[in-house]
Amino acid sequence: MQMFPLTVEQGVVRRRGKVLVGPVDLTLAGQGTTIVVGPNGAGKTSLLKMLHGIVRLNEGRLNWACPREEAEKRQGFVFQMPVMMRRTVVDNIAYPLRLIGVPRKEARARAADWAHRIDLGDALERQAVLLSGGERQKLALARALIRDPEVLFLDEPCASLDGRATREIEEILAEAAQSGTRLIMSTHNMGQAQRLADEVILVIGGRIHEFSPAAEFFAGPQTPQGAAFLRGDIVE
Amino acid sequence: MSDLWEGLSQAFWLVVLLDPDLVEITLRSLRVTLTALLIASVIALPLAALLAVRRFRLRRATIAVLNALMGLPPVVVGLIVYVFLSRAGPLGVFGLLFTPTAMIIAQVIIIVPLIASIAHQSLRELWSDYHDLLISMNTTQGQRIRALLWDGRRALLTAALAGFGRAIGEVGAIMVVGGNIDHATRVLTTAIALETGKGEFAMALGLGFVLIGMAIAVNLAIHWIGHTERGGRW
């Protein structure tokens, strides 16, 4: 059953009375990579969490093309600060498979394959909390991708990583996108946005100011806020 | 001071000669306490995890009550269990009063709040780390509880050891419900109380040193089995 389009109608998320996101109207189709950009505190993370379902809407509606329960099983999320479970590398990666009943031996074998793909093959039995920032993020990506999600949300996965780690992450993301995973990702890095994006969402103050194909956005934003953001002006 | 040395010496010979009474009392102490610990852990650890992951109306009140019950006076617990198990009490038909089972029941009641409260502190922190991840993975409540119990197992070991320490050194409640009957319900702590009452301080101290040694040995054994404090491990 098709998951997309994902539609949000007048979606609002509040916390302690403060509006974090919205009102938002958005329709996402089922292909390509969508990059969410915006200044610090604009609501990018909250928007991603809202779309993924970690944060519930206070107002409005969010609909997948399939039943919500079905959609929730077919998506993953990678956090800006990857959460390492207090387990070994291989057990961390295998965990999502164990959740759906894959036998331990098979889950660990598939996890070991993934660990080799992300250059953590030598660290299978190391405690995940001892990994470096870049290694943690690669592990988080592998853990999110091991169940072949149809949609993967990523919240600034390369923030605070060096160039090499960023390139490795981008390579994994490019592979995932090529194999059909729909990527919806926030970033501060405009270069990264240009390299990865098929379409761009500009969020400022919790609202979507621009949603357009990447080429159009980077060639000439349609809104003054978009132009100011690309120029590097302070926008709020 | 001479009592102390005499006690040490007596403890040494009691252990070296494997005094039959000492062995019997020690094994009974261990059996009662480890059984109580096992039962209490089965109740307290999932309860602690549930309190960490689940939000319900009386959650805060439940946690506050559990914390308050950590200071439950053992003699009062013994008295209440006595009333329930006595012949005229609601559970009198089972004939459990003055048996090791009654002592286990009393110890379970005393250490469940202690283990649950300490475990809850650890699991609450772990849950704040795991919350978004496990929600994003669409886990069920049971899967969340299992993840917390497994990944927090070394912290939970500490909670269990605290429960063991409380139970093995407990005397008030088990004296009331066990009766300190020779060859039936006498354990190390009640034997110490008895010897002290008789003025046999050296013997009481000897038993005390055995009790301390056993508590340390059990703690070390559990740490060793649990692989705690090893490089690169949690």
Min Cα distance A73 → chain B (Å) is 6
Lowest mean pLDDT among A2-6, A9-13, A47-51, B154-158: A2-6
Lowest mean pLDDT among A56-70, B8-22, B57-71: B8-22
Min Cα distance A84 → chain B (Å) is 8
Asked whether the beta carbons of residue A52 and residue B136 sit closer than 8 angstroms, the reply is yes
Tell me: pLDDT of B232 over 70: no
Closest CA to A117 of A189, A176, A200: A176
Average pLDDT (A30-41) is 87
Asked whether the beta carbons of residue A54 and residue B138 sit closer than 8 angstroms, the reply is no
Please report the pLDDT score of residue B228 as a whole number.
58
At B230, the pLDDT band (50, 70, 90 cuts) reads low
Please report the pLDDT score of residue B227 as a whole number.
66
Cβ atoms of B100 and B154 within 8 Å: the answer is: no
Please report the pLDDT score of residue A36 as a whole number.
94
The CA distance from A202 to A188, in Å, is: 11
Name the range with the highest mean pLDDT among A90-99, A173-182, B193-202. A90-99
At A17, the pLDDT band (50, 70, 90 cuts) reads confident
Q: Which helix (H) or strand (E) holds A212?
A: strand A207-213
Tell me: pLDDT of B233 over 70: no
Tell me: pLDDT of B116 over 90: yes
At B200, the pLDDT band (50, 70, 90 cuts) reads confident
What's this model's pTM, rounded to 2 decimal places? 0.85
Interface test with chain A among B126, B128, B138, by most A beta carbons within 10 Å: B138
Residues of B within 8 A of A76 (CB-CB) are 136-137
> In the block, which residue shows the tokens 């729909």?
A182
Tell me: pLDDT of B234 over 50: no
In angstroms, the Cα distances linking B168 to B8, B162, B216 are 20, 10, 11
Judged by a CB distance cut-off of 8 A, whether residue B130 touches chain A is yes
Q: What angle do CA A86, B226, B117 make, to 5 degrees?
A: 70
| Chain A residues interacting with chain B (CB cutoff of 8 angstroms) | 49, 52, 54, 72-73, 76-77, 79, 83, 85-87, 95-96, 99, 126-127, 129-130
Taking only the tens place, the pLDDT of each residue in B160-178 is 999 999 999 999 999 999 9
Q: What percent of chain B has pLDDT over 70?
A: 96
User: Which segments of chain B does DSSP mark as H helices, in order?
Assistant: 2-16, 20-53, 59-69, 74-85, 100-136, 141-151, 153-168, 172-178, 188-197, 201-226
Asked whether the beta carbons of residue B130 and residue A83 sit closer than 8 angstroms, the reply is yes
Asked whether the beta carbons of residue B133 and residue A79 sit closer than 8 angstroms, the reply is yes
Q: Is the ipTM here above 0.90?
A: no
At B39, the pLDDT band (50, 70, 90 cuts) reads very high
CA-based nearest residue in chain B for residue A130: B232
Min Cα distance A189 → chain B (Å) is 24
**How many contacts does A have with B, using Cβ atoms within 8 A?**
39
Which of B132, B232, B234 has its CB closest to that of A83?
B132
